[in-house]
A and B are shown apart, each in its own frame.
Chain A
Amino acid sequence: MTDNALVRALDITAGKSTTSVFEALSFEISPGSFTALVGPNGAGKTSLFDTLLGLVALRAGTLTVMGGRPCHARRRIAYVPQVSRLLHDDALVGREFVSAAYQSHRWGMPLPSGRRQQLQAVDAALETVDARDLARRRLSTLSGGQRQRLLIAQALVNEPRLILLDEPLSQLDPAARDRIVSVANALTRRGIAVIFSTHDINPVLPVCDQVLYLAGGRGRAGSVDEIICDRTLSELYGTPMRVIIEGGRRFVFEGSQRRLQAVGQC
């Protein structure tokens, strides 16, 4: 166990009163680390984010976030939703969208005296995600990947120590995907820890420090080799699973060797 972990989860169980989304999950998040949160749809990736933010109560286990209870650390965590969850963003230009997050938990209007600091924070955030060119463009004219970068910039203006990225690669083409992964990786070099949820591990394989895999109401954390292997995935899914490594990429199949040959074509 490291002493300075941002998040320490020990045997945590979350879910509604009768059904649990995941059970007895243990993991740690260190500053500046890149964690891939992987699992099929409905495996509880978003529920895990809600748990880290203290929006959902734990049913069992202990969870420490930045040395305290999750809800006390919210201001130091930024949650980045999927682009498709944004409904009314298209009226504004990039810079205004990003700066809307600045000190947004405070009541009232921003004072003119804080204007310089706000400009600097927004500029720095746009710079970090390489989106200076989007500052004056309306969101309605931007692609999914460009909007995703602005969403990450919005999360950065309040200087978080941990960023939760919810399926940032969904609905993006491969080039846009690579760009988002490299932006997320750049955050870790600034000491920000990243939890990156995705249903496909391959785009983040080159940059991820650990994998948190959720499936079948269970979850396991560890290195890529420890988690994306036949034994661990078979345990998680509760059914025989096969992992094929091909050209540095990992492909997960359901079933035994013999059935694999039938589905291996795809």
Chain B
Amino acid sequence: MLMPGFLRYDFMQNAFIATTLIALMGSLVGYFVVLRRQAFGSHALSNIGFAGAAGASLIGAEPMLGLLVFVLGAALLMAWTGRHVGERDISVGMILMFSLGLGALFVNLYSANANAAIGILFGSVFGIDASQIRWITITSLVVLAGLVALFRPLRFASLNPDAARARGIPVSLIDTLFLLLLGAASAIAVPVIGALLSFAIFIGPASAAQAWSGRVGMGLALTALLALGEAMGGLILSYYANLPASSCIAGLSFGIYALSRLTRVASRRCVAG
């Protein structure tokens, strides 16, 4: 069978399936995160998961469960505090700060397994087993179905919340549901790409796509393509160059984002000149 050498191994196959699903789900949720200017909230949600996983390890529970509980709890808390973006920035920062403090405490108390904590902060793409693949598949399908269901009211409420509320759209409910989708996506992505690096999938491709296209449909398609390219490219690069996969994905994501900014600046110059 014609297959690239790196796909001979089970762990590589699992890594490819997991990153494909996470890249698609994470980047498409991320498109709306960028549209809504909630990047800081997205970053915070990923890192809050770290405290949950460390806490679950400490009491002998499944780390994934702790991660999920913490992230969804934080998503609800964020939806409940501050409606205005400015207010929300501060409350998000405070929730993030508190949970990182908790995470540090849990790791300190459970020093036997500091490696697991590092794994959550930076991800371990090549350590994914079949049961994780199942969870990643289910979560991705649920999150993508949720995005499709919310699409029209979410798009309008993101752009013009006052007019949406006047039209009878339940804007607060949509805010909360969206944060829960983002929380679920973050929780499932964190063990794979790492809490600190989830920006690479959630924010990088979407902001590059929005720099290149001012249309929603085109922007979403571009986001998914860029995210898939960056994730696959990162894995292959990591295999051949023998570098950490997360670093490769983060590097590609940053490179594409920088390129998108540069071309935007160049095209503005053209228009101005």
On A, residues with C-beta under 8 Å from B are: 49, 53, 55, 71, 74-75, 77-81, 85-89, 91-93, 95-97, 100-101, 103-110, 138, 151, 154-155, 158, 164
Q: Which 5 A-B pairs have the closest CB atoms?
A: A79-B166, A104-B156, A93-B214, A81-B162, A74-B168
Contact with A along B112-151 (1 / 0, CB 8 A): 0000000000000000000000000000000000001111
Q: Contacts A107-B150, A108-B148, A108-B151 hold; do A88 and B158 have CB atoms under 8 A apart?
A: yes
How many Å from the CB of A86 to the closest CB on chain B?
6
A77, B157: Cα distance in complex, Å: 17
Contact with A along B155-194 (1 / 0, CB 8 A): 1111110111111110000000000000000000000000
On B, residues with C-beta under 8 Å from A are: 34-37, 85, 148-153, 155-160, 162-169, 210, 214-216, 219
A77, B167: Cα distance in complex, Å: 7
Docked-complex contact B214 and A79, CB < 8 angstroms: no
A106, B168: Cα distance in complex, Å: 11
How many Å from the CB of B257 to the closest CB on chain A?
14
How many A-B pairs fall under 8 Å by CB? 96
Chain A residues near B151 (CB-CB < 8 A): 107-110
Chain B residue, CB-CB nearest to A164: B166
Chain B residues near A107 (CB-CB < 8 A): 149-153
How many Å from the CB of A224 to the closest CB on chain B?
28
30 A-B contact pairs sorted by A residue (CB < 8 Å): A49-B166, A53-B166, A55-B166, A75-B168, A79-B166, A81-B163, A85-B162, A86-B159, A87-B37, A93-B214, A96-B216, A97-B159, A100-B160, A101-B160, A103-B152, A104-B153, A104-B164, A105-B152, A105-B153, A105-B167, A106-B152, A106-B153, A107-B151, A108-B149, A138-B214, A151-B160, A151-B163, A154-B160, A154-B163, A164-B166
Q: Contacts A104-B167, A105-B169, A110-B152 hold; do A81 and B214 have CB atoms under 8 A apart?
A: no
Docked-complex contact B168 and A105, CB < 8 angstroms: yes
Chain B residues near A86 (CB-CB < 8 A): 159-160
Chain A residue, CB-CB nearest to B36: A88
Chain B residues near A49 (CB-CB < 8 A): 166
A104, B35: Cα distance in complex, Å: 16
Docked-complex contact B34 and A91, CB < 8 angstroms: yes
A63, B9: Cα distance in complex, Å: 71
Docked-complex contact B155 and A100, CB < 8 angstroms: yes
A89, B167: Cα distance in complex, Å: 19
How many Å from the CB of B6 to the closest CB on chain A?
36
How many Å from the CB of A173 to the closest CB on chain B?
22
Chain A residue, CB-CB nearest to B37: A88
User: 4 other contacts beyond A95-B215, A105-B167, A108-B148, with CB at 8 A cut-off?
Assistant: A81-B160, A100-B159, A104-B153, A164-B166
Docked-complex contact A104 and B162, CB < 8 angstroms: no
Q: Contacts A74-B167, A79-B163, A96-B214 hold; do A88 and B35 have CB atoms under 8 A apart?
A: yes
Among the listed A79, A92, A101, A109, which residue makes an inter-chain contact with B148, where contact means beta carbons less than 8 Å apart? A109
A88, B175: Cα distance in complex, Å: 14
Chain B residues near A151 (CB-CB < 8 A): 160, 163
Among the listed B159, B163, B168, B169, which residue makes an inter-chain contact with A88, where contact means beta carbons less than 8 Å apart? B159
Chain B residues near A91 (CB-CB < 8 A): 34-35, 210, 214, 219
How many Å from the CB of A26 to the closest CB on chain B?
23
A154, B159: Cα distance in complex, Å: 11
A55, B167: Cα distance in complex, Å: 10
